[in-house]
Structure 1
């Protein structure tokens, strides 16, 4: 049997009926047995489901938001299927389940578990639509629930993979199926030992593709994006971007660590360990070369710019006229770990620790509440974190024009600045 191929299609590649038809054409001459297709939620549906959760936790009415999500998906189906197609009944069932789940009690204590249960519907619904349309077009695929093979702990919203159990399920359940049919499944979701839905972190569908590739001993992974490959900056923000034809695993991992949105940060490590190449290609130009990420790629030195928005700068200052010691840092990091908050930038002074984190609902106030008795805490919200790898220092001032810089630091290979519009 030929090596399994993994294709991953993100939200932009299934954002409407035209996009679903385009995905179908990409697969028309590529689909074969021993292929797994991973799809994300359609367009910005994850954001829309998060908005519902935000309204629910605030005891506000979300019925209009819920109705809009249903209408959005049904409109896509009306443009893709005849009116008597079974997909409409399948979607009715999924939205019935979603609304039943939304009737449950939501509190701060169960927010993360509730989040995973609700937000996973984006992937379940989109994968049903795409699988049914492929079959409707004569491209037969098996729809499979990723939660049956991707096993995790119960760390909701940032679940950790049980690699041994996941591999065993993939080999025993999916491998035999793949001898006869391609499989279409969901990104981003898994399940814990109690069969509760978990998610792998925002934008985690890339990671799903990497998990499945190593568990199925795949030959390659291809991520289909709305860009021509991996670029040295986001073309929507920065002009004159350059595409990498090839990237080494280490260089790609460094880019994702600092927040490059083209690939999820956890994707590279399992692929590098298994020596599985990763291709990033454009669904708008599927015949173009894209970018190949593999072991033996040349090292680059061109500046690579990464911009993370919606950042919070928090400073912890000791209050008893002592200096910052290891114990202070340990205390802060213990709380960050318990709240599942990742530090995007850290700077120490004699009397304070300053760090940059992503904005997440409730997380900042929980952090402040846990540490307010030990530190004097100040923070700024709504910031940007600019990271430049292989910086040319004469170009940094141009990037900073029109911004107030709150914090910056530089090493031999990296420049970072926390900033806001002047």
Structure 2
């Protein structure tokens, strides 16, 4: 039995969705679990709607754009089930408007965010399910919230492994035995109360790993719109190369430092059960891609990870007050309370600097909370470049024309926060 996960860029066009049928048939008669993300840029659109809702701005145009995008997908993909799919789409929009109408005092912002953005994966999987039904593919649609059980952190929920194992075995295995193919959503889960939670950015990868680990799958394959795991973004770095093989440990380190190809938590459950992970190009499925498993040597070539749209927070106390352990405890408490992903930390005697994702509604409340205890200076937008296994001369060469706001060198890793995007190297 295998698990296939398809990213949003792989299913953003009708012809790409049609290719799913070929992937399924290539695995028959073996059982297969398919995990899908939201189509195209749907998640970004839903996040924009959420932000417009918070800012008391009209979101009708953004919502209508998403509606028409999915309506066009239905028009190109379906015939016999088109009207049923239209009804599903109309209900989807109606439910979304209802959710957006909930007063902010009646629900937490993180709960509201999860309820809104989860709709992207749910709608994508339903449209794909309708298409597979029309093609007479024996496939069972499953709401992932019935299986992936979490705590109540909502936006970056922690998996309840005992409950998840119970519900995956109860809900997935019988469907595999009956239908051979199970279609479900990535990124989403539910807490003990049945409320929708989400697993964090790129969380669909993590969903695939969870299911593969619980079901003891033969492998997990993540289908992307890239050749495999690259040493850098080829659009920015001319010398970027594809890795044919990477160890779990090296891949986990790359994900930890912000490589967007995989969710940071994807590796651990696979490594624990020695389940191979393949990252392969969706549009060239016969190419080998990248294999990630035990036994491969550590990376020998530099890896460049560029994270855009970052925020740089400088915290200080009035001189000569030192930034001591109690101050650090308060900072980390606020970061945890606001569920904030930190990408770089640096400390001096009197200051503490944090580089974090700036595309989050949580930044405002985080800065307000920190401002009660510290002097806060905030810079955005900035970029963060991480170079792993670097040559000592590389950072100077890459960033010689940039204004570096914060730099940090550790054994094997160099990080720099700067204001402009580096030119193609």
TM-score by length of 1: 0.95
Correspondence for 1:5: 2
TM-score by length of 2: 0.95
Q: CA deviation digits over 1:260-287, x for unaligned, max 9?
A: 0111111011111111110000001100
Q: Distance in 1 between matches of 2:122 and 2:414?
A: 40
Correspondence for 1:173: 171
Q: Distance in 2 between matches of 1:329 and 1:263?
A: 30
Q: Distance in 1 between matches of 2:80 and 2:66?
A: 19
Q: CA deviation digits over 1:110-136, x for unaligned, max 9?
A: 211111111111001100111221222
SS at 1:393 equivalent: coil
Q: Distance in 1 between matches of 2:29 and 2:44?
A: 33
Q: CA deviation digits over 1:196-246, x for unaligned, max 9?
A: 111111220000001111111111100000111111011232223111111
Correspondence for 2:355: 356
Q: How does 1:213-232 map to 2 (within 5 A)?
A: 213-232=212-231
Q: 1:175 to 1:227 in 2, by over 3 A?
A: same
Correspondence for 1:366: 365
SS at 2:291 equivalent: strand
Q: 1:109 to 1:330 in 2, by over 3 A?
A: farther
Q: 1:134 to 1:327 in 2, by over 3 A?
A: same
Q: CA deviation digits over 1:126-167, x for unaligned, max 9?
A: 001112212222322101000001111111111111100000
- Choose from 117, 122, 125 the match for 2:123: 125
Q: CA deviation digits over 1:330-362, x for unaligned, max 9?
A: 111111111111221111111111111111444
Q: 1:89 to 1:385 in 2, by over 3 A?
A: same
Q: 1:114 to 1:31 in 2, by over 3 A?
A: farther
Q: 1:330 to 1:222 in 2, by over 3 A?
A: same
Check the 8 A contact 1:13/1:23 in 2, yes or no: no
SS at 2:104 equivalent: coil
RMSD: 1.7
Check the 8 A contact 1:388/1:414 in 2, yes or no: yes
Q: How does 1:321-400 map to 2 (within 5 A)?
A: 321-400=320-399
Correspondence for 1:306: 305
Shift of 1:307: 0.6
Correspondence for 2:71: 74
Q: Distance in 2 between matches of 1:200 and 1:32?
A: 31
Check the 8 A contact 1:23/1:283 in 2, yes or no: no
Shift of 1:107: 5.5
Q: 1:408 to 1:258 in 2, by over 3 A?
A: same
SS at 2:10 equivalent: helix
Q: 1:313 to 1:22 in 2, by over 3 A?
A: same
Q: CA deviation digits over 1:385-413, x for unaligned, max 9?
A: 00000011222223214321111111220
- Greater shift in the superposed pair: 4-13 or 228-237: 228-237
Q: Distance in 2 between matches of 1:19 and 1:107?
A: 42
Correspondence for 2:150: 152
Q: How does 1:13-412 map to 2 (within 5 A)?
A: 13-82=10-79, 85=82, 86-106=84-104, 110-181=108-179, 182-412=181-411
Q: Distance in 2 between matches of 1:173 and 1:373?
A: 48
Residue ranges of structure 2 left out of the alignment (5+ in a row): none
- Greater shift in the superposed pair: 76-85 or 326-335: 76-85
Moved over 3 A (4+): 106-109
- Greater shift in the superposed pair: 302-311 or 323-332: 323-332
Q: Distance in 2 between matches of 1:355 and 1:395?
A: 24
